[in-house]
């Protein structure tokens, strides 16, 4: 009995030490990455982080003046994006009068990254000082009124990725063990976006985003299930970053560009080429909305 108690105490001590080690490791990595970015950008201080989805990276080319353009491979500890339509670079500078940090190219779980690594770029943006996140994605429309070309403000999400980026020991310096997700997509930012869209005569929808693992597209049966669950669109990203943003107290505005009907909604087969092509067709309208929203965000 005594040996068991001692063993339990030893186990707790070891586990506690492991938690402190992992916590210190993540914080140290973020400090190292932030220092490299600050050095490359001559101390530029961003206020808004932007994550650009498939085919929407053209917005990074509208940043100007540019403080720095840094490939992910030049940032210590930064995971690499491997998907077509994702450039894999961080652009810092001014856009629509705001100081922004634009992640052109996101990391997906289906590329083989751990969920902790998926959200590393977002955590780095918060480490650099960003307290607001504008996250975008390309998605498939489940709801009948969401057709290719439509823009949807995300009111909530359903995480069906099968994991969570907060698994494992919690780093209390980054956020609480059990963050609240009731208003993960900040209502005030969504209202601001609706107002600016109306002023610019740009139609926006609103709805729930479902994150699926991929990389295969969903089956018609899965889409019927998702519709029953309350999903309006489906994609393969966004939820992990928003969970991490909530963990770190970062406000979020989420925007989805519908690039295709979900499986079974029409007889059309799905392809990534279609996603990139539809994003290219809608990019001017999407960019106009971003420019309208950013000044007062």
Which two three-digit tokens encode residue 294?
Answer: 């950013």
Q: Is 170 among the residues known to form the active site?
A: no
Q: Which helix (H) or strand (E) holds 141?
A: strand 132-141
- Annotated active-site residue in 110, 183, 277, 287: 110
For the stretch 169-175, contacts whose Cβ atoms lie closer than 8 Å and that sit 24 or more positions apart, written own/partner, are: 169/18, 169/19, 169/20, 169/22, 169/23, 170/19, 170/23, 171/22, 171/23, 171/26, 171/27, 172/23, 173/23, 173/27, 174/26, 174/27, 174/123, 174/247, 174/248, 175/246, 175/247, 175/248, 175/249
**Spatial separation of the C-alpha atoms in residues 220 and 172, rounded to whole Å:** 42
Q: What is the pLDDT of residue 88?
A: 84
Whether 102 and 63 have beta carbons less than 8 Å apart is answered as yes
User: What is the architecture of the domain spanning 2-296?
Assistant: 3-Layer(aba) Sandwich (3.40)
Q: Is 159 among the residues known to form the active site?
A: no
- Annotated active-site residue in 138, 152, 212, 262: 138
**How many residues does this entry show for the chain?**
297
- Annotated active-site residue in 38, 77, 192, 272: 272
Q: Is 38 among the residues known to form the active site?
A: no
Residue 185 exposure: Cα atoms within 13 Å on the Cβ side: 25
Q: What is the pLDDT of residue 64?
A: 93
**Spatial separation of the C-alpha atoms in residues 155 and 207, rounded to whole Å:** 5
- Annotated active-site residue in 104, 116, 260, 262: 260
Q: Is 272 among the residues known to form the active site?
A: yes
- Annotated active-site residue in 33, 49, 50, 54: 54
Q: Is 138 among the residues known to form the active site?
A: yes
Q: What is the pLDDT of residue 277?
A: 79
Q: What is the pLDDT of residue 84?
A: 57
Q: Is 209 among the residues known to form the active site?
A: no
Q: Is 110 among the residues known to form the active site?
A: yes
Q: Is 94 among the residues known to form the active site?
A: no
Q: Is 86 among the residues known to form the active site?
A: yes
- Annotated active-site residue in 68, 86, 101, 278: 86
Q: Is 226 among the residues known to form the active site?
A: no
Reading the chain (297 residues) residue by residue, the pLDDT tens digits are 333 334 434 433 444 444 444 445 888 999 999 999 999 999 899 999 999 886 677 788 999 999 999 999 999 999 987 755 446 899 999 999 999 999 988 889 998 999 999 999 999 999 999 999 999 999 999 999 999 999 999 999 999 999 999 999 999 999 999 999 999 999 999 999 999 999 999 999 999 999 999 999 999 999 999 999 999 999 999 999 999 999 999 999 999 999 988 887 877 777 777 777 777 778 888 889 999 999 999
Query: Cα 154 to the chain's mean position, in Å?
Result: 12
Q: Where are the domains positioned within the chain?
A: 2-296
Residue 197: closest CA among 133, 129, 290, 116: 290
**Spatial separation of the C-alpha atoms in residues 76 and 26, rounded to whole Å:** 12
**Spatial separation of the C-alpha atoms in residues 206 and 91, rounded to whole Å:** 28
- Annotated active-site residue in 41, 87, 89, 108: 108
Residue pointed to by tokens 């780093």 = 171
Q: What is the pLDDT of residue 83?
A: 59
- Annotated active-site residue in 101, 212, 231, 236: 236
**Spatial separation of the C-alpha atoms in residues 52 and 200, rounded to whole Å:** 21
**Spatial separation of the C-alpha atoms in residues 179 and 184, rounded to whole Å:** 10
């Amino acid at each position: 009995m005594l040996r068991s108690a001692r063993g339990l105490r030893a186990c707790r001590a070891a586990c506690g030490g492991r938690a402190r080690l992992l916590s210190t490791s993540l914080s140290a990595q973020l400090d190292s990455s932030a220092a490299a970015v600050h050095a490359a950008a001559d101390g530029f201080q961003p206020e808004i982080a932007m994550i650009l989805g498939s085919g929407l990276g053209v917005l990074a080319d509208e940043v100007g003046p540019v403080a720095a353009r840094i490939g992910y491979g030049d940032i210590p500890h930064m995971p690499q994006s491997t998907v077509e339509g994702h450039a894999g670079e961080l652009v810092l500078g001014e856009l629509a009068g705001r100081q922004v940090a634009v992640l052109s190219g996101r990391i997906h779980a289906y590329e083989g990254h751990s969920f902790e690594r998926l959200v590393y770029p977002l955590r780095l943006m918060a480490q650099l000082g960003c307290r607001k996140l504008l996250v975008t994605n390309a998605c498939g429309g489940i709801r009948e009124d969401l057709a290719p070309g439509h823009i949807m403000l995300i009111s909530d999400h359903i995480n069906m990725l099968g994991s969570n980026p907060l698994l494992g020991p919690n780093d209390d310096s980054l956020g609480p063990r059990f963050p609240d997700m009731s208003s993960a997509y900040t209502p005030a930012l969504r209202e601001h976006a609706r107002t600016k869209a109306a002023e610019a005569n740009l139609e926006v929808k609103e709805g729930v985003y479902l994150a699926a693992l991929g990389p295969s597209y969903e089956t018609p049966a899965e889409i019927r299930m998702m519709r029953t669950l309350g999903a309006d669109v489906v994609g393969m990203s966004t939820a992990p970053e928003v969970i991490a943003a909530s963990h770190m107290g970062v406000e979020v505005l989420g925007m989805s560009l519908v690039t295709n009907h979900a499986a079974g909604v029409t007889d059309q087969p799905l392809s990534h080429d279609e996603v990139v092509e539809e994003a290219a067709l809608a990019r001017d309208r999407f960019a106009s909305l971003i420019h309208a929203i950013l000044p007062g965000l």
